[in-house]
Structure 1
Amino acid sequence: MRVIVWLVEGTWPACVDAVRTHAPGASDVVLLHVSGPEVADVAHGAFAGLLGRGHPRGHTPAGSWGSDPGDRLTDLGGTSAAELMDAAAARLGGPCARMERTGRVEREVVAAAEGADLLVLARDGDRAGLGPHSLGPAARFVVDHAPCPVLLVWPEAAPGLATLPPPPPHHH
């Protein structure tokens, strides 16, 4: 049984625990972390903007400016992803593979789930009440497009049934 576990900062422990509880016999567990390119892209763009202003044509002061901060942010992101993967593997306590992807997060998760028997993810929206708002845009996309069964977990205890919205008025 191939289980993909989508690890997100802050909610990953619930996903790892769900594998231990609901798929204890899984022979192939893959810890998945996806880095969106947005933060590093912004820094790359800002750095390129600095290079483009007030310098004679053909003169590139890369040496005087140092390295592109987008590269540093990409490296920092990789470090935290590796630490998150290490912590998740330790919590899982069994054999697992690691998969790191970069791109549009929700699309990378769906692509990574191709051929899987189960995809485990956590709610990423408003977790104060039951209902559709407990899914943010990324998790909603993944749930709607996953090519395999999905186990959707609450990162903490689920809200009580009292948080259910009232039923719509009944019209005759």
Structure 2
Amino acid sequence: MRVIVWLDEGTWPACVDAARAHAPAASEVVLLHVSGPGVAGLAHGAFAGLLGRAGSEPDPEGRLVELGRASAAELLDAAEARLGRACTRLERAGRVEREVVAAAEGADLLILARDGDRSRLGPHSLGKAVRFAVDHAPCPVLLVWPEGAPDLTTMPPPPPHHH
């Protein structure tokens, strides 16, 4: 059994705990971190656009990419320690939700955490990236609440019925 655990900065501990609870001992656990095109690319774009030319200042993109890699490595280190068993580490870069779906190809389970409004039950508890991954995953999905599910009283009332 191959279990992919999508690690996101804010919610990874709950995903690792779910893998500890639900991945059979003999399964291969893959800790997945995806770096989006985000900050480094934005910094480069902003820098390149500064006065329409690059001056003598060093372009910040390289440093931000380096910091992103260090941060991803630290997150993977922490996740591996929390998992407490042998695992595979997988780092990908690109459109996060698409990279997660691609990484889940051939997997037996994808574990991910809700990334939206976690104060109440309902569809808004899934942000765009997690919604995309849940909708497109080529394998079963285990969707976890990062800090425990909200009370059932937070569920929206049913719509009124019209006759």
Q: Report TM bin, short chain.
A: over 0.9
Q: How far apart are residue 26 of structure 1 and its match?
A: 4.5
Q: How far apart are residue 23 of structure 1 and its match?
A: 1.5
1:57 maps to none
Deviations for 1:19-70, whole angstroms, at most 9, x for unmatched residues? 11112324211000000012111111122223744xxxxxx75xx323x201
1:121 maps to 112
CA distance in 2, matches of 1:114, 1:131: 27
Q: How far apart are residue 99 of structure 1 and its match?
A: 0.6
1:144 maps to 135
Structure 1 regions of 5+ residues with no counterpart?
A: 54-59
The SS at the match of 1:65 is: coil
Report the CA distance shift for 1:26/1:106 in structure 2 as closer, same or farther (over 3 A).
Answer: farther
1:80 maps to 71
Give yes or no for contact 1:3–1:26 (8 Å, CA) kept in 2: no
Q: What is the TM-score with the length of structure 1 in the denominator? A: 0.90
**Runs of 4+ in structure 1 over 6 Å off:** none
Aligned residues: 163
The SS at the match of 1:120 is: strand
Give yes or no for contact 1:40–1:73 (8 Å, CA) kept in 2: yes
2:124 maps to 133
Q: Which one-letter code corresponds to 1:65 in the other structure?
A: E
Q: How far apart are residue 118 of structure 1 and its match?
A: 0.2
The SS at the match of 1:41 is: helix
Alignment RMSD (CA, Å) = 1.3
- Report the identity percentage: 79
Deviations for 1:87-112, whole angstroms, at most 9, x for unmatched residues? 00000000000110110000000000
Report matched runs for 1:83-122 at 5 Å. Answer: 83-122=74-113
Deviations for 1:134-171, whole angstroms, at most 9, x for unmatched residues? 00000000000000000000001100110111111122
Give yes or no for contact 2:23–2:29 (8 Å, CA) kept in 1: no
Q: How far apart are residue 86 of structure 1 and its match?
A: 0.2
1:56 maps to none
Larger Rg: 1
CA distance in 1, matches of 2:121, 2:46: 41
CA distance in 2, matches of 1:29, 1:167: 39
Question: Which of 57, 73, 76 in structure 2 is aligned with 1:65?
Answer: 57
CA distance in 1, matches of 2:142, 2:19: 9
Structure 2 regions of 5+ residues with no counterpart?
A: none
Q: What is the TM-score with the length of structure 2 in the denominator? A: 0.95
CA distance in 2, matches of 1:26, 1:138: 30
1:157 maps to 148
The SS at the match of 1:158 is: coil
1:24 to 2:17 alignment: no
